[in-house]
Amino acid sequence: MSRELLCVESLRLRAGEGNEQRSLVSDVSFSVHEGRVTTLIGSSGSGKSLSCLAGLGLLPLGVRRAGGRVTLCGRDLDGLSPAAHRQMLGREAALIMQNPMSCFDPLHTIGSHFQETLAAHENGRLDMDRCTEVLARVGFEQPRQMLPLFPFEMSGGMLQRVMIALALLLGARLLVADEPTTDLDVVSQARVLDILDDLCREQGLGILLVTHDLSIVARLAREAYVMHAGRVVEQGEVTAIFESPRHHVTRELLRAHHDLAGFAPVDASCGAKT
Amino acid sequence: MTILELSKVTRRYRQGGWFRRSRALVAVQEVSLALDPGCCLGLIGRSGSGKSTLGRLVLGLETPNSGAVLWKGRDVRGLRGPDYLDFRRNVQVVFQNVQAAVNPRLPVWKIVAEPVENFDGLSGAAARKAAVALLLRVDLREKDADHLPHQFSGGMLQRVCIARALASRPACLVLDEAVSSLDMAVQAQIIDLLDEIRRDTGAACLFISHDIRVIRRACDELAVMHQGRLVDRLPRPFAPGPAAHPVLSELINAILPAAPKAPKL
């Protein structure tokens, strides 16, 4: 059994005060293991992003954890001091966000983004070899030439790969990817997914992937949790979920998915169905 | 009869640098195409291939550096007064980023009523009545009319944007990645809605997307853009022959599998 990197047990999230309280997520449990991609699936507003942010202890302002336990890399988040928590983020677990175009500071080069990350955790010296090494891991053939570039000089797909490289810089074993390819075109998307697959398969990282696109789930994931209205309605192996979905929400998601995506990715069969 | 036509349109931008150091970036280069009533043309390409610029040229939001956009056979740059109003009224757009496309402080009926007020001269209760009718047309409910944009999900807000685009009864709709940021189930619903509207109104559509699955479902004809040029055109059923442009095969091959492969043991 591979090591468990993240374990969330009966998580409950609430927003608002007093009578205005709303329950956003209730009784959600999931876990992420080394060397596997685990996904949270669901339509917009089903609570998947919040659940994964809660897993890192990074809830947005106004949302609080009303119950449940989160164990990140073997340590209970409740027992951690803020400083210790901060040390874990980046070294043990890292987050990849949806919009690479707006996540980078437009006034700073890629190199100084790397430096900033190093400064936040270590002595802040820009270690060229480490930067080029992680950039090479995400598929840049000439990593050294990327460092002096500004974010606007790169495409969305390249920036998303830089974001993954930044996440890997301090040796995180758990990657939390919240809709990592929604903003990219299909070609860049395939590239980024290949890289995530490699990281997981060959380097044994654990990945928690949040998505609404079932093609991405089919491409990458082994385990899936289907969320609806703040609850997990179905969980299991991805193949099982695709073959015999049990809950009606899952069936509805799959129906919509096959409706639009029932398209064989082979040239010859393109257009077989009009 | 062709209602809107691009003839050898080129659009360049200056990129970077001050004074003379800037470089010219050719976003759209000598593109010619025609939009016929009731026909949906899909425009596909990777990001940065000039699809959106082409859409903006069609809308008259950009002026071409050379070539011309012809509305009913007349150059859009030469339209004045009522002729220009006719063009504006008949060419409408739905953008991808729905949250940014609406005024966050207006209730949705006012958002939809704006073109009604501008083009039909209605106001007050009459404008509201027209707006509510449009909201019903895109499958929203009457009680949604007084809600603010932040109370809607992305898919519902996209319906509001479609209602607004329909308000002036356009003859031509530009859909710039109109479904790309929505989830799968909602994408299919929105495409079906657009299809229905197209059949009802006979409007011409320019459907911009990078996802051939969406194009296949929505469009009659496909045009492929690459580095600012129109490199390939395909009629239904979009079966690329051996002579198809490599970009098209790249876009098709990048489509993810619909179902997981058998588990690797």
* Interface probe with B: pick from A260, A266, A269, A274, most Cβ of B within 10 Å: A260
Helix (H) / strand (E) containing A234? strand A231-237
Please list the rounded mean pLDDT of every run of 10 residues in chain B (265 residues).
88 75 82 89 87 89 90 88 90 86 90 88 88 88 87 83 89 87 77 86 89 83 89 79 79 80 54
Quote the Cα angle for B101-B104-B107, to 5°: 105
A183 contact residues in B (CB cutoff 8 A): 181
Chains A–B, number of C-beta pairs less than 8 Å apart: 121
pLDDT tens digits, one per residue of A21-67 = 888 889 999 999 999 999 999 877 788 888 989 999 888 888 888 88
Would the CB atoms of B185 and A252 count as touching at under 8 Å?
yes
Task: Using the CB atoms, write b or e for B5-21: b if 16+ within 10 Å.
Answer: bbeebbbeeeeeeeeee
Interface contact B217-A182, CB threshold 8 A = no
Chain A residues 93-112 within an 8 A CB cutoff of chain B: none
Considering only CB atoms, which chain B residues are within 8 Å of A253? 184-185
Q: Measured over all CA atoms, what is the biggest interatomic distance in chain A, rounded to whole angstroms? A: 61
B220 burial class (0-12, 13-18, 19+ CB within 10 angstroms)? middle
Which residue positions in chain A have pLDDT lower than 70? 1, 262-274
CB A51 within 8 Å of CB A40:
yes
Q: Do the strands A223-228 and A37-41 form a parallel or antiparallel pair, or are they unpaired?
A: parallel
Close Cβ partners of A245 (under 8 Å, ≥ 6 residues apart)? A234, A251, A254
Residue A188's closest CA among A137, A139, A142?
A: A139
User: Could you tell me which CATH number the domain at A1-92+173-185+205-274 has?
Assistant: 3.40.50.300
C-alpha–C-alpha distance, residues A34 and A2, integer Å: 6
B chain contacts of residue A248, beta-carbon cutoff 8 Å: none
Q: What distance in Å separates the CA atoms of residue A221 and residue A210, rounded to the nearest whole number?
A: 11
CB contact under 8 A, B211 and A214: no
Residues A181 and A13: beta-carbon distance below 8 Å? no
User: Smallest Cβ distance to A265: which of B188, B210, B257?
Assistant: B257
Report the DSSP pairing between strands B172-176 and B91-94: parallel
Chain B contact for A147, CB < 8 A?
no
> φ and ψ at B68, to 5 degrees?
-150, 150
Q: Which of residues 228-267 of A touch B (CB under 8 A)?
A: 237-239, 242, 252-253, 256-265, 267
Best probe of the A interface among B256, B264, B265, by most A CBs < 10 A, is B256
Domain coordinates in residue numbering, chain A: 1-92+173-185+205-274, 101-171
Q: How far apart are CA B19 and CA B197, in angstroms?
A: 48
Give the residue among A259, A232, A261, A262 at the shortest CA–CA distance from A247: A232
- Helices B108-120, B154-166: axis angle to 10 degrees equals 10
B-chain CB neighbours of A209 within 8 Å are none
Q: Are A178 and A39 in contact (CB under 8 A)?
A: no
3-class DSSP assignment, residue A107: coil
Residue A175, token pair as written in the block: 């990657």
Strand partners, A223: A38, A237
Question: Terminus-to-terminus CA distance in chain B, angstroms?
Answer: 59
Enumerate the residues of chain A whose CB falls inside 8 A of the CB of residue B215: none
Interface test with B, best of A46, A153, A259 (most B CBs within 10 A): A259
What's the confidence (pLDDT) of residue B265? 45
Q: Determine the residue among A149, A185, A193, A227 to mutate to test chain B binding: the one whose Cβ has the most chain B Cβ atoms within 10 Å.
A: A185
Alpha-carbon distances of B148 from A170, B151, B158, B162, B214, rounded to whole Å: 43, 6, 14, 16, 29
Q: Are B221 and B234 in contact (CB under 8 A)?
A: yes
User: What residues of A are in contact with residue B211 (Cβ under 8 Å)?
Assistant: 186
Amino acid at A29: S
A59 backbone φψ class: left, alpha, beta (φ>0; ψ -120 to 50):
beta
Report the helix count and the strand count for chain A, using DSSP H and E.
10, 10
> Per CB distance under 8 Å, which residues of B are interface residues toward A?
46-48, 153-155, 181-188, 191, 210-214, 216-217, 236-240, 249-260, 262-263
The three-state DSSP-derived secondary structure of A41-92 is: ECCCCCCHHHHHHHHHCCCCCCEEEEEEEEEECCEEHHHCCHHHHHHHHHHC
Residue of B nearest to A249 (CA): B185
